[in-house]
Amino acid sequence: MVTELQSLRYTPAGIPVVEFRLAHASERAEAGATRKVNAEIDAVAFEAQARLLAGGKLGRLLKAEGFLCAKNRRSKKPVLHVTNIEFMEGN
Amino acid sequence: MWRKENGNICNAKAHPLRMRVLRIALDVPVAKIFEYLIDGATPVEPGDRVEVPFGARPRVGVVVEIAAASSVAASKLKRVERVLDGAPRLPAEWLEQMRFLSSYYQRPFGETVAGALPARLRSLKPLPKRAKSAADNASEKAQPPVGGHAPNPAQARAIESISVALGAFRPFLLHGITGSGKTEVYLRVIAQVLARGLQALVLVPEIGLTPQLEARFRRAFPSSHIAVLHSALEDTARTHAWLDAARGDASIILGTRLAVLTPLPRLGIVVVDEEHDASFKQQEGLRYSGRDAAVLRAKLAGCPVVLGSATPSLETWFNGGAGRYTLLTLPERAVPGARLPTVRTVDLRLESAENGLAKQVLEAISARLARGEQSLVFINRRGYAPVLACESCGWAAGCTRCSARLVLHASAERGREPGAGSLRCHHCGARENVPRACPTCGNVDLRPLGRGTQRVEETLAVLFPAARILRIDRDTARKRAALARTLDGIGRGEGDILVGTQLLAKGHDFPNLTLVCVLNADNALLSTDYRSAERLFALLAQVGGRAGRREQPGEVLVQTRYPAHPMFRALMRHDYAGFAASQLAEREGAGFPPFVHEAALRAEAKKVDSAMMFLRAAARLLEVPASVQIYDPVPHLITRRAGVERAQLLLQSHSRPALQEFLRLWSAALPASSSSGVRWHLDVDPIEFD
């Protein structure tokens, strides 16, 4: 689910970028129990994925695929670089 | 024998059968005057241009002397092809000026002479013809009154002092605050010079930047022939202007530094406006100071020279203090009621400046917008951002030919469409596309760091959507005519917010401008160049001086992290004299000009090691007199420029003659530039060290 969404911007080379925040909620098996999973992570998407997200509503459910990468040289905080998006039905 | 016959040749002045020896300056890079023969019948004098055979092709030379004899056997000398006419003979006084410049700036005489002539006079092509227009014959006598306000008491005193000095050499320093009406003083003195039937030479930093000044001269002297001379003129126009000046047809010569090299048969006054400006120093070929050449010129012509500035160079101020120049002061603004603007610093340590503009600054701009007044946002850096960087790995876009960063430029139009930007090198002019991704780590999200005029313009357009924003920098002002129109428009009140570089700082008079905001003054404060404080003070006083030139008071806001810096304190008090005194004390203590005289030997090579090696060898080449000090060679701060690596060494001396004498011997002893893959030049009284 998208919980924060910045407006679409362009890199100096003209590539569209959008920065956003994703929230995740699910249930997973862990050490013999079923536990609730909650997490949030900063994310970024480029080009087609950026355009798909841009201007959309918050709270949409989606399936995101991508990789983790440090925010920058100073902060090793992971950012999810979304390379594929699938919006869930019914949104 | 040739030698024995000489006496006769001289006495029998133009015996048709006897040959005479002409000593001729040719445009070749050796310190040598060439000798040729000419028959006795052809009329020829020093200052004539002649066609001579030289190597494979004929060349144009200038006769500097008709010699009694040659040290070479006459049979070895070639004959002059013909004496060129069409242009006036170069006067003795002009040749004397060339001799001085050649010897002082250590450049071969022939090259000095050739460099001072427009291209057409150096070529064998016939001079361009022009029908004489009515304006050329305009009478100089019927001068209308100059117009404008009656001079205030300080202006009147300055006009009077210069006027009584007409007819003899005397240097004046006209120190007038911004908007104090220096131009009015020039105009009124020039009117008197013209009334005597003499010529006036007026030097300005950059003619393209001062179209208002030219227009003002034309309004003041509608019936006078004004010749405009600058390097951007196309060949024919420049030749015509030069010829008009040299023939004495033009009574006012308005131009950049090169105008000081024009022969003027009836020179009655020399004016150097904004005399502190660095553009008066030529940075290639004959590396002369247009200002110093102007003083020499006036001396040779026996007329006054007026150096005008709100912030004189410390050299000139020092000369004024030492009594070598007569100091004239204009302490008040010329328009009655107009005052110098209030100058305040905005402390960036206390106030965050989102997008580079502090809240105070934005509020001040809002207030001007509400009152229908103009604001100027000054940032001395063109382009979008000075650095394009990768925040993931630390890469920054650099020039392949220079040791410098590439500057990010957005596409020309505002509301930029994505992807049209480019990277440009401000040192060599190289231009490339913005890379899609970091070449080191592949990160696509490259970031512009810092701010240039384009980015500030973009920010202001978002913050003040209803305001008319005009950006004026070298990118928007490629065409002189377009710039002149824009500046004219601003003068009439077009544009609410002006974003500009130092193009906007110089001399312009914008009546409706009441606010000047300075964004990146700190860069210059942190420079290692001992002239940087002097230059920053001059620049800020100049740009601040654009504000409040009429009845409405002006305000200047300077964003800085160093509000306590003495330079800002002096600026706030409008205390040039105090600032100059403290700078001079520092220079004296540290042993910098004007307390010592300097020269730089610079070397350029493929690799900086070769340049350094050359300089080390050069330093040991001759015995250096005790009165001259040679420092160790150092690479330039920007070592590599346009594919060439550079290093320099500095010489200092308390004695100008001692330094000059050493330079003369030294430049003769240094190997020719081409020999070792190292090119060198000497810069006497250097002002740039980067």
Helix (H, G, I), strand (E, B) or coil at B599: strand
Helix (H, G, I), strand (E, B) or coil at B34: strand
Say yes or no: B392 contacts chain A, CB-CB below 8 A. Answer: yes
Give residue B412's pLDDT band: very low, low, confident or very high (50, 70, 90): low
Say yes or no: A68 contacts chain B, CB-CB below 8 A. Answer: no
| pLDDT at position B208 | 67
| pLDDT at position B414 | 47
Closest approach of B656 to chain A, Cα-based (Å): 53
Give me the mean pLDDT over the B580-600 stretch. Answer: 96
Hey, which residues does A63 pair with through a beta bridge? A86
Say yes or no: A16 contacts chain B, CB-CB below 8 A. Answer: yes
Instruction: Say whether pLDDT at B7 is over 50.
Output: no
- pLDDT tens, B458-488? 999 999 999 999 999 988 877 777 888 888 8
* Ramachandran area for residue B337 (φ above 0: left; ψ -120 to 50: alpha; else beta): left
Nearest by CB: B436 against A13, A17, A69: A13
Beta-carbon contacts of B391 under 8 Å, excluding residues fewer than 6 positions away, are A72, A73, B443, B445, B447
Q: What's the rounded Cα separation, in Å, for the pair B309 and A26?
A: 75
Give residue B619's pLDDT band: very low, low, confident or very high (50, 70, 90): very high
Instruction: Say whether pLDDT at B149 is over 90.
Output: no
Instruction: Say whether pLDDT at B444 is over 90.
Output: yes
Instruction: Say whether pLDDT at B402 is over 50.
Output: yes
**CATH of B139-330 among 2.40.50.100, 3.90.800.10, 3.40.50.1000, 3.40.50.300:** 3.40.50.300
Helix (H, G, I), strand (E, B) or coil at B169: coil
Find the residue in B nearest to A10 (Cα).
B418
| pLDDT at position B360 | 95
Give residue B391's pLDDT band: very low, low, confident or very high (50, 70, 90): very high
Say yes or no: B440 contacts chain A, CB-CB below 8 A. Answer: no
Nearest by CB: A46 against B418, B419, B444: B444
| pLDDT at position B210 | 67
Q: Residues of B numbered 556-595 whose beta carbons fall under 8 angstroms of chain A's beta carbons: which are they?
A: none
Task: Enter the tokens of residue B165.
Answer: 């000095």
Nearest to B257 by CA among B31, B105, B92, B86: B105
| pLDDT at position B597 | 97
Give residue B505's pLDDT band: very low, low, confident or very high (50, 70, 90): confident
Enclosing H/E stretch for B560: strand B555-560
What one-character DSSP code corresponds to residue B385?
B
| pLDDT at position B551 | 82
Say yes or no: A15 contacts chain B, CB-CB below 8 A. Answer: yes
CA-based R_g, chain A, Å:
14
Give me the mean pLDDT over the B314-320 stretch. Answer: 96
Tell if the CB–CB gap between B418 and A14 is shorter than 8 Å: yes
| pLDDT at position B526 | 86
Q: Which residues of A touch B418 (CB under 8 A)?
A: 10, 14-16
Give residue B419's pLDDT band: very low, low, confident or very high (50, 70, 90): low
| pLDDT at position B387 | 96
Instruction: Say whether pLDDT at B147 is over 60.
Output: no
Nearest by CB: B392 against A11, A14, A72: A72
Say yes or no: B413 contacts chain A, CB-CB below 8 A. Answer: no
Find the residue in A nearest to B419 (Cα).
A14
Q: Which of B154-163, B365-374, B420-429, B665-674 is the least confident region?
A: B665-674
Give residue B34's pLDDT band: very low, low, confident or very high (50, 70, 90): very high
Q: What's the rounded Cα separation, in Å, for the pair B571 and B580?
A: 11
Nearest by CB: A12 against B391, B393, B448: B448
- pLDDT tens, B509-540? 899 999 999 998 898 888 888 999 999 999 99
- pLDDT tens, A13-31? 999 999 999 999 999 999 9
Instruction: Say whether pLDDT at B209 is over 70.
Output: no
| pLDDT at position B131 | 56
Give me the mean pLDDT over the B281-289 stretch. Answer: 95
Find the residue in A nearest to B410 (Cα).
A12
Closest approach of B415 to chain A, Cα-based (Å): 12
Q: Which of A47-51, B142-146, B579-583 is the least confident region?
A: B142-146
Find the residue in B nearest to A47 (Cα).
B444
Q: Which fold has domain B597-684?
A: Alpha-Beta Plaits (3.30.70)
Q: How many residues does chain A have?
A: 91
Tell if the CB–CB gap between B446 and A72 is shorter than 8 Å: no
Give residue B6's pLDDT band: very low, low, confident or very high (50, 70, 90): very low
Say yes or no: A17 contacts chain B, CB-CB below 8 A. Answer: yes
Average pLDDT along chain B: 90
Task: Enter the tokens of residue B258.
Answer: 């090169």
Instruction: Say whether pLDDT at B14 is over 70.
Output: no
Instruction: Say whether pLDDT at A38 is over 70.
Output: yes
Q: Which residues of A touch B434 (CB under 8 A)?
A: 11-14
Give me the mean pLDDT over the B547-565 stretch. Answer: 91
B7 versus B339: which is more confidently predicted? B339
Nearest to A41 by CA among A59, A67, A21: A21
| pLDDT at position B54 | 93
Closest approach of B398 to chain A, Cα-based (Å): 15
| pLDDT at position B5 | 40
Q: What's the rounded Cα separation, in Å, for the pair B327 and B307?
A: 10
The two counts, helices (H) then strands (E), for chain B are: 19, 29
Closest approach of A37 to chain B, Cα-based (Å): 30
Give me the mean pLDDT over the B273-296 stretch. Answer: 96
Instruction: Say whether pLDDT at B548 is over 90.
Output: no
Q: Which of B146-150, B549-553, B626-630, B651-655 is the least confident region?
A: B146-150
Nearest to B342 by CA among B548, B565, B181, B580: B548
B124 versus B287: which is more confidently predicted? B287
| pLDDT at position B19 | 85
Q: What percent of chain B has pLDDT over 70?
A: 92
Q: What's the rounded Cα separation, in Å, for the pair B641 and B266?
A: 44
Would you tell me how many other CB atoms lie within 10 Å of the CB of residue B181?
A: 23
Q: Residues of B numbered 485-524 whose beta carbons fall under 8 angstroms of chain A's beta carbons: which are they?
A: none
Tell if the CB–CB gap between B392 and A13 is shorter than 8 Å: no
B383 versus B147: which is more confidently predicted? B383
Find the residue in A nearest to B438 (Cα).
A13
Task: Enter the tokens of residue B106.
Answer: 């250590």
Tell if the CB–CB gap between A69 and B392 is shorter than 8 Å: yes
Q: Which residues of B touch A10 (CB under 8 A)?
A: 418-419
Hey, which residues does B650 pair with through a beta bridge? B600
Output the 3-class SS for B388-455: EECCCCCCECECCCCCCECEEECCCCCCCCCCCCEEECCCCCCEEECCCCCCCCCCCCCEEECCCHHH
Fold agreement (B342-382+452-588, B597-684) = no
| pLDDT at position B431 | 94
Tell if the CB–CB gap between A10 and B448 is shorter than 8 Å: no
| pLDDT at position B132 | 56
Q: Which residues of B touch A69 (CB under 8 A)?
A: 392
| pLDDT at position B549 | 83
Please give the interface size between A and B, counted as residue pairs whose CB atoms are below 8 Å apart. Answer: 46
Superfamily of domain B342-382+452-588: P-loop containing nucleotide triphosphate hydrolases (3.40.50.300)
**CATH of B2-122 among 3.40.50.850, 3.40.1440.60, 3.40.50.970, 3.40.50.300:** 3.40.1440.60
Give residue B30's pLDDT band: very low, low, confident or very high (50, 70, 90): confident
Give me the mean pLDDT over the B266-271 stretch. Answer: 98
Instruction: Say whether pLDDT at B651 is over 90.
Output: yes
| pLDDT at position B552 | 85
Tell if the CB–CB gap between B392 and A46 is shorter than 8 Å: no
Tell if the CB–CB gap between A13 and B433 is shorter than 8 Å: yes
| pLDDT at position B330 | 96
| pLDDT at position A34 | 96
Q: What is the ipTM of this complex?
A: 0.91
Say yes or no: B393 contacts chain A, CB-CB below 8 A. Answer: yes
Say yes or no: B12 contacts chain A, CB-CB below 8 A. Answer: no
Q: How far apart are the two ends of chain A, measured CA to CA in Å?
A: 11
Give me the mean pLDDT over the B401-416 stretch. Answer: 80
Find the residue in A nearest to B418 (Cα).
A14
Closest approach of A23 to chain B, Cα-based (Å): 23
**Could you tell me the residue ranges of all domains in chain B?**
2-122, 139-330, 342-382+452-588, 384-451, 597-684
| pLDDT at position B10 | 43
Q: Which of A10, A11, A17, A20 to mutate to test the interface with B (most CBs of B within 10 A)?
A: A11
Q: Which of B422, B436, B444 to mutate to test the interface with A (most CBs of A within 10 A)?
A: B444
Say yes or no: A43 contacts chain B, CB-CB below 8 A. Answer: no
Instruction: Say whether pLDDT at B378 is over 80.
Output: yes
- pLDDT tens, B426-441? 999 999 999 999 999 9
Give me the mean pLDDT over the B372-388 stretch. Answer: 95
Tell if the CB–CB gap between A12 and B445 is shorter than 8 Å: no
Beta-carbon contacts of B266 under 8 Å, excluding residues fewer than 6 positions away, are B197, B198, B199, B248
| pLDDT at position B355 | 87
What one-character DSSP code corresponds to residue B469?
E
What one-character DSSP code corresponds to residue B24?
E
Q: How far is CA B632 from the centre of its chain?
A: 29
| pLDDT at position B416 | 47
Q: Which of B77-81, B142-146, B154-158 is the least confident region?
A: B142-146
Instruction: Say whether pLDDT at B136 is over 70.
Output: no
| pLDDT at position B69 | 79
| pLDDT at position B9 | 41
- pLDDT tens, B491-500? 999 999 999 9
- DSSP letter for each residue of B264-311: -TTEEEEEEETTT-GGGB--SSS--BHHHHHHHHHHHHT-EEEEEESS
Tell if the CB–CB gap between B391 and A72 is shorter than 8 Å: yes
B41-66 residues labelled b (16+ CB within 10 A) or e (exposed): eeebebbbbbebebeeeebbbbbbeb
Q: Are B624 and B630 in contact (CB under 8 A)?
A: yes
Tell if the CB–CB gap between A13 and B419 is shorter than 8 Å: yes
